[in-house]
Amino acid sequence: MAEATKPNKQEKVGEVTSTKMAKTIVVEVTRRVQHPQYRRIVKHRKKFYAHDEEGKAKTGDVVRIVESRPLSKLKRWSLAEVIRTTKIASE
């Protein structure tokens, strides 16, 4: 019998745009896709609400988020790690 493995969880990398909520960050993920008709590369942006228990992430940081169980009406992601921090501490 095969080992029971956890299902693979999606990961996304994006920039923190807001840390004004308690234990919650807003992460903007930008991806480049080709337009189906015009074949031009365009940027698509989407915001994700992620859970940040310790409050490690600051505005402007580049972070990795992973999907998790629903934590609130909008929160479906959790902070995995801070990849790069910013020099400017904006609050």
| Percent of the chain clearing pLDDT 70 (strictly above) | 90
So where are the chain's domains?
A: 11-84
Q: Mean of the pLDDT values across residues 19-41?
A: 97
Q: Mean of the pLDDT values across residues 19-42?
A: 97
CA distance 90 to 56: 14
CA distance 85 to 33: 26
Q: Mean of the pLDDT values across residues 63-72?
A: 97
Q: What is the pTM of this model?
A: 0.84
- Tell me which CATH code domain 11-84 carries: 2.40.50.140
- Amino acid code (one letter) for 15: E
- Residue 3 pLDDT > 70: no
